[in-house]
Chain A
Amino acid sequence: RKEVEQDPGPFNVPEGATVAFNCTYSNSASQSFFWYRQDCRKEPKLLMSVYSSGNEDGRFTAQLNRASQYISLLIRDSKLSDSATYLCAVTYTNAGKSTFGDGTTLTVKP
């Protein structure tokens, strides 16, 4: 079993839809959690850190459930420009090494 697992998708949604991704992790000692966005053939870019209390940035909401060991990313009012692969990452010490999920691919269609 992988340390960090994501549903690879693809998720195909119409513009304006709400879509949610989950990411499960196996190490209960994990301390920091992140979502990254990766466009085709480019480097991953940090989208959001995930805090225990949950956090929101515009149309994006990230949540952490330590009891069930998963993090989630909710995208509201999807835009064409949201089409990308979304990677979750888990670290065991602040700013230490991260383990990444394989990514979930989202395609937003007109």
Chain B
Amino acid sequence: DAGITQSPRYKITETGRQVTLMCHQTWSHSYMFWYRQDLGHGLRLIYYSAAADITDKGEVPDGYVVSRSKTENFPLTLESATRSQTSVYFCASSDLGTASKAPYGYTFGSGTRLTVV
């Protein structure tokens, strides 16, 4: 099916474990993003990617690692999970658009609810 999918939908892990959240999009959008959403903080950008093999830090990158070897995939890894990383994680994608096209917004995945115990 076309779209953007995240997996898993729910994850419980222990402090100190490595966790990888998956994100896959079928549109060949250039841009992909990872946000976390917490009560009182709204959506905060963790990492983003403008194209395959190009990634950059967002507002809250510490403790996270990303890669983008293929345009369609953008996994997010928590190297050593901490309780403060308990959150809802959203992946999103967007196309560059052109000068003659209206600006594009994001399409979000359905999110991963991560609990670190």
Contact = CB atoms under 8 A, between A and B. Distances in A.
Contacts of A89: 105-106
Contacts of A29: none
B107 A95 contact: no
B85 interface: no
B108 A94 contact: no
A98 B33 CA distance: 9
A99 B108 CA distance: 14
Contacts of B96: 94-95
For chain B, the bracket of interface size reads: 20 to 34
A96 B96 CA distance: 8
13 contacts: A31-B103, A41-B88, A43-B90, A49-B102, A49-B104, A87-B43, A91-B103, A95-B97, A97-B58, A98-B45, A98-B105, A102-B41, A102-B42
B104 A94 contact: yes
Given A43-B110, A44-B106, A89-B105, 17 more contacts: A34-B103, A36-B106, A41-B88, A44-B90, A46-B107, A49-B102, A87-B43, A89-B106, A91-B103, A94-B103, A95-B30, A95-B103, A97-B31, A99-B45, A100-B42, A101-B42, A102-B41
Contacts of B95: 95
Given A46-B107, A49-B102, A49-B103, A94 B97 contact: yes
Given A49-B103, A87-B43, A102-B42, A95 B110 contact: no
Interface of A: 31-32, 34, 36, 41-46, 49, 51, 87, 89, 91, 94-103
Interface of B: 30-31, 33, 35, 40-43, 45, 48, 50, 58, 88, 90, 94-97, 102-111
